[in-house]
Structure 1
Amino acid sequence: MRRWMFAGVALVAVSLSGCVASPSPFDGRRVDADRLPGDVATYVQTGDVATSRFQGTSGVWDLYLVHGTGPYGFCLVYTDGTAERSGTTCAGGTWVRASLPDGAEFEANISGFVNPPTDDQVQISTWVRQLAPGRQSTTSATE
């Protein structure tokens, strides 16, 4: 009887191990650094600003992810600290790409990236990469 019970428990454990979801940028407690600047938050129309998570800084750009609203699953929010040069790019799927006014290009993948960044890419966080530099210098940030 014990053998059958052990086999059953082992089968359940193996079955459940394949069902673990990938970590999300929205896991864990939200901290003050995750909050969008007030003047930027007022312009986010397709995302829930209460869910923002800071991803890092590259050049002049601060990058955030927020849960999307309506048909959008999530949004990449970027700002140089001014409302005039802030924006949002949203997606209904698992990834989105944003081309910014200074030529910088970023990609966000809510499931995380499968492949490591190429030599010309900068990993900003687990979920955000810089694909092309802008006219400002490029620096990597923390996750």
Structure 2
Amino acid sequence: MNVGAEGLENVFTPEMAGALHALGDELRARINALGEEGEGEGRRRLRVLGAGSILVFHFTRARVEDIRSPADWMGDEDPRLLDLFHLEMLHEGFYLARRGYAALSIAFLEEEGRKELDRFVEAVRKFLVTFGELIA
């Protein structure tokens, strides 16, 4: 308990939490911008939802701003795309849960961590280019 209290008081401070949550917002925005690229109205696209340091990936036709509940994306989501995405991210050296869930840590706030996030965004872009026809 003392270690946990010490961590919350001196490591994961409210300022640190705010910075981590802002990083999550930034990362979701960067990846959602990738998901908007390409042609074709009404095509399935990659969407990243979540809050704070949580990222949840979905392949859906729903616009991010229109998603309020699972019903808004579940109707047209193909779970095989999440399986493929999971495996491709593993191949690129990134672990996320098979269901498309990932969480950021405070290590990503450091310079090396940000470089890894840039590499992750590039891996996502590569996935979208390589498998774009399957996603549509």
TM-score higher than 0.5: no
Larger radius of gyration: 1
TM-score, length of structure 2 as denominator length: 0.32
Question: Which is strand-richer, 1 or 2?
Answer: 1
Question: Which is helix-richer, 1 or 2?
Answer: 2
Higher relative contact order at CA 8 Å, sep ≥6: structure 1 or structure 2?
Answer: 2
TM-score, length of structure 1 as denominator length: 0.31
